[in-house]
Amino acid sequence: MKGAKLAIIIGNRDFFPDQLVTEARQDILAVFDEIGIESVMLSEEDANLGGVETWEDAKKCAALFKAHADEIDGILVVLPNFGDEKGVADTVRLSGLQVPILVQAYPDDLGQFNIERRRDAFCGKMSVCNNLRQYGYPFSLTELHTVSPTNSAFKADLKKFVGVCRVVNGLRNARLGAIGARPNAFITVRYSEKLLQAYGIHVCTVDLSEILGMAEKLADSDPKVKAKLDEINAYVPTGGVPTPAVVKMAKLGIVLDDWIAANEIDATAFQCWDSIQQNYGVNACGLMSMLGNQLLPSACEVDITGAAAMYALQLASGTPSALVDWNNNYADDPDKCVLFHCGNWPKSFYAGDVEMAYADVLATTLGKDNTYGALAGRAPAGPVSFARISTDDVNGRIRTYVADGMMTDDPLATFGSRAVVEMPGLQTLLRHICKHGFEHHVAMNASHSAEVLAEAFETYLGWDVYWHRG
């Protein structure tokens, strides 16, 4: 995942000390260097110390941003003093950028309330936000109203903001692949392509018969099949899977890889039940796991909005996501439950005992010989985030929920891909899911990213968000 590049606007007012602007520039560049963020900002020669105050400054800064528009992920507004609120808003408007904005303001020092060091950024931040609101630009705020860039709290704000930028910009240009038709029984995962498209999320479709037909045309002796076989066998242990089934998976994997690359797909949703088992004779779980591990999330049952949530979590954290079922209670503990799926989680979600086998549940009706390819293993203890995106067609809205929790190492004697999760107030979240008609699928990621997604979804995409905080 590429590093972030932020455009910087340093606000200024000429009756405040110039040295405050110089110091702010040095502080921000040092923090960016520490975190690994690139910057686009006026030089000290382009405007007075590189700050933005006048209409001319705004035009110069906007022109610079326009020249780098394709590289800029977000805008950071820095207020070392009160700043010129109109200059900031004009710069954003003239630049034409439609990216997230973070507003930072320096704190005053009680021991330096003299004319040489007084800032008044506490007040100026309100004026900048007022102008941005008037101009119609959504923006993010630091956790503290005033905070120095060198403070650890601001560094945390900045890292969160970069995640917000990745989510917003990524979803606004996302290309999701629907591979096959939605299984007839799963009307729970129906969605509106038109609502998704309104936010820049494009859905590409392909009939499963085309994918399977191309796979069956590949010869066992094809060098590409041999290479894919080696890749599968190196990914997880496949000793319990008959060789013909792994060969079928290899051929299918080649076709999927080619289609994803040709269509520049960011995430997929696969028709995994039960056409592929009946007509091709394998489960696609292992291949979906491999895609997810390569940061190409893949959801089950053509759950496109589930795939979108997986991709959003991945954008926020930079790590693979998985799709799970909210599946079982955990004994009598109201704050714990069991997560389960047949076996398509990226291998980073498993402890060391993961292996490829057959899908236990599907095998009861479809037979073992038709269901090889699923992964089986237990998720280790650690942080976890959940997200769900759903299209509310009746009201023309996109609705979401996000939450953070912990995976535990509580005893769990069962099969498939499984985990135990603990979350304060879990019953409240489950009630919300049921009352508002959300799907039984949820995307998960081994991170705590709920806050980033809540900000991205609500502030910049305008979606309805329930952020469960226990």
Q: What is the pLDDT of residue 273?
A: 83
- Which residues of the chain are in CATH 3.40.275.10 domains? 175-468
Q: What is the pLDDT of residue 1?
A: 57
Q: What is the pLDDT of residue 151?
A: 97
Is the domain spanning 5-171 CATH 3.40.50.10940? The answer is: yes
Q: What is the pLDDT of residue 351?
A: 83
Half-sphere exposure of 463 (CA within 13 A, CB side): 27
Of 321, 316, 35, the closest CA to residue 160 belongs to 316
CATH class of 175-468: alpha beta
Distances (CA, A) of 156 to 113, 129, 144, 150: 28, 21, 11, 11
Going from the first residue of the chain to its last (470 residues), give the mean pLDDT of each consecutive group of 10, the final group possibly shorter: 90 84 95 97 93 96 98 98 94 98 95 80 96 98 98 98 98 98 94 98 98 98 98 96 98 98 98 93 97 98 98 98 98 98 94 90 93 96 98 96 98 95 98 98 98 98 96
Cβ of 264: how many Cβ atoms within 10 Å? Answer: 11
**d(Cα 33, Cα 338) in Å, to the nearest integer?**
42
Of 215, 450, 423, the closest CA to residue 339 belongs to 423
- Which amino acid is it at 345? W
Q: What is the pLDDT of residue 370?
A: 96
Q: The dihedral of CA 168, 321, 419, 160: what is its sign?
A: negative
Q: What is the pLDDT of residue 352?
A: 79
Q: What is the pLDDT of residue 266?
A: 98
Q: At 21, list the tokens.
A: 């602007």
Q: What is the pLDDT of residue 470?
A: 84
Residue 397, SS3 per DSSP: strand
- Which residues of the chain are in CATH 3.40.50.10940 domains? 5-171
With 0.95 as the threshold, say if the pTM is over it.
yes
**d(Cα 76, Cα 104) in Å, to the nearest integer?**
7
Q: What is the pLDDT of residue 262?
A: 98
Q: At 315, list the tokens.
A: 């954008």
- Which amino acid is it at 281? G
Burial of 59 (0-12, 13-18, 19+ CB in 10 A): middle
- Which amino acid is it at 301? E
